[in-house]
Chains A and B, each alone.
Chain A
C-alpha cells in the first residue's frame, strides 16, 4: 500500500526525502514509516484509522487529539498496552497492535496470565 504523504505544498517543505524510512508491523502486517514520527501518524499514512476497540461497547477508536491527552489512540506497542501512539516515536522493527479492550499486564518473563 502506498503511503499518503503531502508531496507538494505552497508553503512547507516536509523534507520527506531526507527522513529515514523504517519498517514496522501493524497486527503482523509489515508497513513503512518515517523514524521518530509518531506511531499514530505513520499508521494514518498507511491508511490505518482504527487503533483500538473500547472495552465496554466495543467501538472503534483512532487518532483524535494528537497531544497525548485523550486516550483515543492507545495501542499495544512491543507488548506494552495503553501506549499513547500520538506522542510515541516510531522505531525500526516496532510491533504495533490494535488494542482490544484494556490491555493485559505481562510478567517480566513476558508470559500472559
Chain B
C-alpha cells in the first residue's frame, strides 16, 4: 500500500498552500485532487484578489495559481511532493487509517498517511424553483469552468441568481467573455458581495434586481427564459411575476462545505450557518478533534480564497510540527505571522460573519 507522511485531500488554494508549507519544512507530502486540473477555484478567477501583499492582493486568481504551481513543481523535482489529479478520495477508514481513492472512473487505490489535511473545498447550493434541474441551469463554478478554464461559451444571455461575491464576479467575467447578462437577481434588499464588485457590473449597464427571486425556468428541454418575482422583507411575493429573456440561468446562491470525509473520520462536527453548513470543530492550528486530521479552506467554512491559503499554511505547519519536523522557533514565528494575517483579513465588517461563525467552532486546544 502507498504511504505518505502528509496527505492533502484537495488541490485548491487551501490544499496547495498546506502542501507547500509542509513540503517546505521537509515533509513527504501527497496531494489528491478530483479535478482534471490542479488549482481548484483559483484557476477560474480572472479578477484581481483583495487582501494584502502576502495574499497576492491585486493579482488575478489564475496568476496566483500559477505562482503556487511553480512552487509545487519545485518540490516535485526535489521528490518531496507527489500530486495526483483526476483522483477522488472516496473514503476515510478510521480504524485502518486508510484513505481510499478512485482514479478516473474505475481504478481504485488506497494510501495510508500519517497525517491528513482535508481541504476538500465546497459545493454549490441549489434553490427551489420550477425546472431548476433543466439543462441551462448551471452552478456558477461550472460556468466559470466552461468559460475561463476551457474557453467555451456557456450561453448567449445569462440570468444570474445571487449578488454575493461569486454572482457579481461571474457576471463580470461573463461580460469579459462577450456574453450578455440579462440581470442579477438577489432576494435580499442589499447585495451580499463587495460593493465595489457590484459597482463594476452596474456601470456596465447590468441591472441588479434586489428583493427579487427566480420562480421558474422556462423551456422544453433546455432553458429558454425565466420568470422572476419581486418579494418583500418576509420573502412574500409582491406584484406580478416578470418574464426575463435568457438561455442560461447561473446559480450563485452560496456554497456549502464539502465535509463527507470529516464525518466519516468521526471529527466533531457542528452546523454553523455563518460558515454555511456543517464544519469540523478545530483548534487555532486547524486541527480537528481527530488528532491526525486538519482542515483548511472552504471545507472549514465558506470564506475568501485569501483566507483559505493562510489556513492551508497553518494546517500544513501544524501537521508537520506533529511529526517533529519543525524547530520550535520556526513553528512559533510562522504561526504568529499566519495568525496575524488571518486576523487582518477577518477584521472588518465583512469579516464579522466569519468571526462569529468561528467563535462557535474554535476551541483553544484539544483536551
Binds B, one of A24-32, A84-92, A101-109: A84-92
How distant is A103 from chain B, measured CB to nearest CB, in Å? Answer: 12
Q: How many residues of B contact A (CB 8 A)?
A: 38
The reply to whether A14 and B135 contact each other, CB–CB distance below 8 Å, is no
Which residues of A in the span 33-89 have a Cβ within 8 Å of any Cβ on B?
Answer: 34, 36-38, 41, 44-45, 49-51, 59-70, 72, 77, 80, 83-84, 86-89
Q: For the side of the interface on A, what is the size category?
A: 35 or more
Q: When the two chains form their complex, are residues B139 and A65 in contact, meaning their CB atoms are under 8 A apart? A: yes
Binds A, one of B69-77, B149-157, B203-211, B333-341: B149-157
Do B154 and A87 touch across chains, with their CB atoms under 8 A apart?
no
Which of chain B's residues 127-147 have a Cβ closer than 8 Å to chain A?
133-139, 141-142, 145-147
Beta-carbon nearest neighbor of B151 in chain A: A14
A38 near B136 with CB under 8 A, answer no
Contact B152 A45 (CB under 8 A): yes
Contacts of A36 in B (CB 8 A): 36
Does B327 count as interface, using CB distance less than 8 angstroms? no
Q: Please tell me if the beta carbons of B222 and A65 are within 8 angstroms of each other in the complex.
A: no
- B136-A49 in contact (CB<8A): yes
- Please report the C-alpha to C-alpha distance between residue A107 and residue B36 in the assembled complex, in whole angstroms: 29
| Residue ranges of B at the interface with A (Cβ–Cβ < 8 Å) | 34-36, 46, 60, 62, 86, 88, 104-106, 121, 123-124, 133-139, 141-142, 145-148, 150-154, 176-178, 221-222, 258
18 A–B contacts from the bound complex (CB under 8 Å): A4-B153, A6-B178, A9-B176, A11-B176, A14-B151, A34-B150, A41-B150, A44-B146, A49-B221, A59-B133, A60-B221, A60-B222, A65-B124, A66-B145, A67-B35, A68-B34, A68-B88, A86-B145
